[in-house]
Amino acid sequence: MKAFRGKKTTIGSIGQQMKSATVHTTETARERRNRLQRERYANDPAYRASRIASVKAWDEKNPERLKANAAAYRLRKGQKPRAEMITGSIYIAQIEGETPVKIGYSTEGVGKKRSKIQMYHHKKVNMIYYSGDVQGVNKLEEQLHKQYASKHIRGEWFDLNKTNIKNIKTQVNRLIKK
């Protein structure tokens, strides 16, 4: 619950002239404990050093847990996960009877991805290629987009020939086998 400490607010609906009231809330025990810990950490160098040392010691004992916590923290803060953490599949999709192909990546299954693309097209969407799981799939997709920038049409759509598509398949398959 968000507390309004000492802020003035107008009570009533729009258009009504009413008195302003100062709203006060009390600090909960948890809020007080957290505030005191933050103050002590900021003002006491010995306490800060001991906390940092204990966290470092814990991290050295649990390196895999540290990576998982860092990834979860980034997701909670609304940041994108690091490229090497995303596992997914590269796909190449094509609208039936048309030349352009879409190079993309997906962390969900081929059926779901095809139906999402299909939603925006009145013709049938064919999945020409769908790879197995690749670590760092978004970096790979970005690399493929840069590699075929000269054939770029719009968004993730490219004007590729069969040789280009075959080269993408072999490039991705080599990464999967590693």
111 assigned to some structural domain: yes
32 belongs to a structural domain: no
| 158-167 residues labelled b (16+ CB within 10 A) or e (exposed) | bebeeebbee
> Residue 90: in which H helix or E strand, if any?
strand 87-95
Helix H or strand E segment including 176: helix 162-177
**DSSP string of 22-37, one letter each residue:** EE--PPPHHHHHHHHH
Tell me if 64 is assigned to some domain.
no
Say if 136 falls within a structural domain: yes
Per-residue model confidence as pLDDT tens digits over 109-152? 888 888 888 888 888 989 999 998 888 888 889 999 999 999 99
pLDDT per position as a tens digit, 41-82? 888 888 888 877 877 777 677 666 666 666 666 665 566 655
Range of the domain at 123: 84-177
The residue count for the chain: 178
More confident residue, 158 or 54: 158
Token output for 2: 């968000």
Contact residues for 134 (Cβ-Cβ < 8 A; gap 6+): 87, 88, 89, 90, 140, 172, 175, 176
Rg of the chain over all Cα atoms, to the nearest angstrom: 27
The CB density around residue 105, as the number of other CB atoms within 10 Å, is 22
| Structural domain includes residue 33 | no
Closest alpha carbon to 160 in 168, 41, 37? 168
Query: Structurally, how many domains does the chain consist of?
Result: 1
Residues 87-106 have a mean pLDDT of 90
User: Does residue 66 form part of some domain?
Assistant: no
- Does some domain include residue 162? yes
